Structure 1
């Protein structure tokens, strides 16, 4: 028998831990507050009955003060109970949201690194933070209101029939009709609107970020938002969806508002009919009570509508968090091995990206022996970066194996694996922290002197000299930004500080100008001295002295050997070298056309 999936609310409360009882207490207090909030209406009826029964004199209405003070104190009691309810649920909500964020981030840290290559960091932050915020709002405000909304109608129905069943029946009829109108609005073809609405909001938000990033290009070429087709299409689709929903709700919304506010119109003729056949004063007292109580019933229906939206929000929030939590974490071997040495070996490796039709690497075998420098070159899309990414387990291979120090990377402890390899990626990421902390990210226990030594070895002295606080300058604050080449040198300082026996360099000079490239090359010499090095480069001048050059094309090894041997072979590498030589001689100007 298939196990029933727990509701979103049950799952959210599961994150509350020991604070779940506070949530339950808050809901009980909120329900009591709502029931106590009906007492002033009863007091008003008692006051009206006393006044009208002794009218025009008030000498016989001796309990007016008592009923009046009871109305005041029950109202105050209702407010205090509700305040206590919110205090309880807020404490529980904050702890629950914290636990959700912690659980999501703990899971994220266990995911393979390749997951982050295919998912924007901003989107992940939004998924975790915004949806945790939705659950916080649900528990802090909407869940206690939901408890009150569930209890109040029952008490209200009892009160409706307490004084005059005929007027009570009229009020109840309008409530039922309003509920049916609400179901008309939120059911049928509109049932899936909230999910589509959230999707369009997320899409529009993502495209807006891309548009803002592209504003310099938009302004440079005198374009408008209409030229940014993806963003414009997202706005239009959202607008169309909202318009369609509004149009489809016209009849339901009209009926809903009519029935919610129409009870009073029915009560007056009903009171006249009742008065004509009985006690006029009693009919008038009951009319006053029901005229005051009917709008309160309308508010209850409104709250029911908002609560149904809250439940849908909770479903949506949990569903979106599941996008992350359902991702399969990187498997850790139960038998943890330790690398014996620093050689890297690819043995018949085949790998296909998730969702791709063809392998990115197919039956690739090569080795980087201890102390060797091996270069991966080839056309774009040939599989160079993919091969380098398999060493730190961005993804796991489909077949074959990648070994570091004789141990399959899938059998190595992730911490041990990361400690064995230093990476310098093409796209360098710096935190909005001081340069000291940015470099020390490679080894948090490093002293300031060790960080300075690493920065010096990475040719960062000129960077530190021009910054206002030197090593303590916060990157990205108060207009402090670094060029692509300068960021690469900071990344090299990290790798030097880490001092791992294996170094992977991925397009490390891709964004460097000639001056920065020269300094980066000097930093390379320090970083790669007595290390096992796997480097990727489009600038073939950087790989001439490599011990072995592997040419990857369409996911396969086309050829390999030394620079001179590959030129003699007159194959793919020789053609690439010829193209590189021609591009090196190219220059801008009239002479270039001669």
Structure 2
């Protein structure tokens, strides 16, 4: 098991700058820019419609009996064009968002396919699914809905200011003064925004993590805890979140509320009305110009609140972008140069001075491990928990890369083999099975989709699975449910063994598949494994020592070192670590509940 602090998600990713947010949109940048230009055009045409309306009123005041049809038609055309461009802009941004979503998910999947399985497992399915679904969805929402608004929010105040400046520079300065004052007050509310945003997001993530832990651990909670400890963690996370939000609200409350009230269109409109009355009273402002200023002037203020909302959304999306980039930054495994890949010559496995640690600064999980496995031989890995057995097994198919020495499969360094060649040489059967939500037949032929049904059934028969499969309502077409939900553990295990039999790889690594089986299923699994290992090189991580008594070679590990090697009887006779493990195993086999109760009570059974 990899320690939690070695996971790439053990620490929250640093929040990236705005440049990183826009750089991740590079694949669809042209389409986003086009959508933003359309949105700017829509905003300008909207201002043109307001100006045209004021000019229409002016013409009617000059000649009450004459309708200015050309001007009215221009107003109608500007309005229709503004709405049309706005709709087209949102269409383009949505198309761009869907394209970006597809591109990023494809890139993430391809990148993870080149990352070592160890890093993928360390990051965890939950974290990866959040990145590939939730974080990319958040970016989709921003691109689809916010990029046109982003353009309008910045373009509208600038265009409005120049229109006001052209109409009357005094009123333009008056409207601008209101906004400058509002932003000055707002800057007080935002003086510690970066730090407060970081604390807010950390508190929110803490609540999410506590909820997930509490819900997922519900059976354990009800059995052992009565909810006191786990619910207490959830309650403390909620209290920390509430404390953070309340402190932020108190520190920035008045300044934020006052600035929002100032940046509302009403104060700007009030100033323009007052100044307009004053200048009109002194005959220094035409009524038509004043009307045009009133119609156009609030556009500056109306863009301020959306701009503030967009800023908050950008801060949230930057967290999602940081997590996406964190996954994309996972190191990929080295690959041989084209035409230089090594090809295995047989089914042997050899470790030469192998050392391994999970992360820089961590203790060595393996130290100077060397051994050979002959083609067709059965080798068992034994030792106490944490001795390094599973690490040895997972290094063979390059779930991780060694930090010292090398591993040879068929005489070829695993780092100099292509992934397809290596995976075609080695098969894995874990204790923890995984089935996809398709049919039983599809799960057996995984990786070999064109395999005929006769071969699938033959593999299932060899795996002792055919009888229970045919007893199901739809036989081999029966859906197994998510992760094999509708099947028992023994049934799932036999299907994965059938999958390995069908693929027929020459080297097989077993993390002992019968460790958690009941007696009835164990007999079926032993028969299935017997069919699976026939004629193959087998390396088995052994938990039940009785199952490996006849192994060609037993390797004993302790604290990351290979301490003993040999056959069962020779190791027992030697009286070393394996002999102690064997004596402990024999004592465990003779343990009985009645004897233990009697011994506790001081009674001879």
Q: Give the TM-score taking structure 1 as reference length.
A: 0.90
Note if contact 1:179-1:301 (Cα within 8 Å) is conserved in structure 2: no
Deviation at 1:484, TM superposition (A): 2.1
Map 1:415-454 → 2, pairs under 5 A = 415-454=420-459
Q: Judging changes above 3 Å, is the alpha-carbon distance between structure 1 residues 6 and 185 closer, same or farther for their aligned structure 2 residues?
A: closer
Instruction: Report the counterpart of residue 159 of structure 1 in structure 2.
Output: 163
Structure 1 gap ranges (5+): none
Map 1:148-547 → 2, pairs under 5 A = 148-186=152-190, 188-221=191-224, 223-224=226-227, 227-261=230-264, 262-278=267-283, 282=286, 288-334=291-337, 335-355=340-360, 357-476=362-481, 481-547=486-552
Q: Distance in 1 between matches of 2:319 and 2:44?
A: 31
Deviation at 1:44, TM superposition (A): 3.7
Deviates more, 1:93-102 or 1:415-424: 93-102
RMSD: 2.6
Q: Distance in 2 between matches of 1:164 and 1:183?
A: 29
Instruction: Report the counterpart of residue 137 of structure 1 in structure 2.
Output: 141
Deviation at 1:564, TM superposition (A): 1.1
Q: Distance in 2 between matches of 1:471 and 1:526?
A: 20
Deviation at 1:345, TM superposition (A): 0.9
Instruction: Report the counterpart of residue 561 of structure 2 in structure 1.
Output: 556
Q: Judging changes above 3 Å, is the alpha-carbon distance between structure 1 residues 105 and 234 closer, same or farther for their aligned structure 2 residues?
A: farther
Deviation at 1:98, TM superposition (A): 1.2
Q: Judging changes above 3 Å, is the alpha-carbon distance between structure 1 residues 229 and 442 closer, same or farther for their aligned structure 2 residues?
A: farther
Q: Give the TM-score taking structure 2 as reference length.
A: 0.89
Deviation at 1:221, TM superposition (A): 4.7
Q: Distance in 2 between matches of 1:431 and 1:109?
A: 18
Q: Distance in 2 between matches of 1:15 and 1:225?
A: 50
Q: SS in structure 1 opposite 2:424?
A: helix
Instruction: Report the counterpart of residue 126 of structure 1 in structure 2.
Output: 130
| 1:349-390 deviation digits (Å, cap 9, x = unpaired) | 111111453111111111111111110011000000000011
Q: Judging changes above 3 Å, is the alpha-carbon distance between structure 1 residues 6 and 231 closer, same or farther for their aligned structure 2 residues?
A: closer
Instruction: Report the counterpart of residue 4 of structure 2 in structure 1.
Output: none
Deviation at 1:463, TM superposition (A): 2.8
Q: Does 1:13 align with 2:22?
A: no
Note if contact 1:376-1:549 (Cα within 8 Å) is conserved in structure 2: yes
Deviation at 1:407, TM superposition (A): 1.0
| 1:424-457 deviation digits (Å, cap 9, x = unpaired) | 0121111111111111115333221111111111
Q: Distance in 2 between matches of 1:481 and 1:362?
A: 43
Note if contact 1:347-1:401 (Cα within 8 Å) is conserved in structure 2: yes
Q: Distance in 1 between matches of 2:24 and 2:515?
A: 46
Q: SS in structure 2 opposite 1:534?
A: strand
Deviation at 1:47, TM superposition (A): 4.4
Map 1:77-96 → 2, pairs under 5 A = 77-96=81-100
Note if contact 1:50-1:61 (Cα within 8 Å) is conserved in structure 2: no
| 1:556-590 deviation digits (Å, cap 9, x = unpaired) | 12212211111111222122122212222223347
Q: SS in structure 2 opposite 1:319?
A: helix
Deviates more, 1:263-272 or 1:318-327: 263-272
Note if contact 1:146-1:304 (Cα within 8 Å) is conserved in structure 2: yes
Note if contact 2:490-2:517 (Cα within 8 Å) is conserved in structure 1: yes
Match for residue 22 of structure 1 among 31, 37, 45? 31
Structure 2 gap ranges (5+): 1-16, 599-604
Note if contact 1:388-1:504 (Cα within 8 Å) is conserved in structure 2: yes
Q: Judging changes above 3 Å, is the alpha-carbon distance between structure 1 residues 226 and 162 closer, same or farther for their aligned structure 2 residues?
A: farther
Instruction: Report the counterpart of residue 54 of structure 2 in structure 1.
Output: 45
Instruction: Report the counterpart of residue 13 of structure 2 in structure 1.
Output: none
Deviation at 1:259, TM superposition (A): 1.1
Q: SS in structure 2 opposite 1:511?
A: coil
Note if contact 2:354-2:368 (Cα within 8 Å) is conserved in structure 1: yes
Q: Distance in 2 between matches of 1:355 and 1:345?
A: 25
Question: What number of residue pairs does the alignment pair up?
Answer: 579
Deviates more, 1:432-441 or 1:199-208: 199-208
Instruction: Report the counterpart of residue 44 of structure 2 in structure 1.
Output: 35
Q: SS in structure 1 opposite 2:24?
A: helix
Q: Distance in 2 between matches of 1:429 and 1:206?
A: 25
Q: SS in structure 2 opposite 1:331?
A: coil
Instruction: Report the counterpart of residue 578 of structure 2 in structure 1.
Output: 573
Q: SS in structure 1 opposite 2:473?
A: coil
Note if contact 1:419-1:500 (Cα within 8 Å) is conserved in structure 2: yes
Note if contact 1:225-1:232 (Cα within 8 Å) is conserved in structure 2: no
Q: SS in structure 2 opposite 1:345?
A: strand
Deviates more, 1:244-253 or 1:356-365: 244-253
Q: Judging changes above 3 Å, is the alpha-carbon distance between structure 1 residues 463 and 214 closer, same or farther for their aligned structure 2 residues?
A: farther
| 1:17-42 deviation digits (Å, cap 9, x = unpaired) | xxx43333222211110000112322
Q: SS in structure 2 opposite 1:241?
A: helix
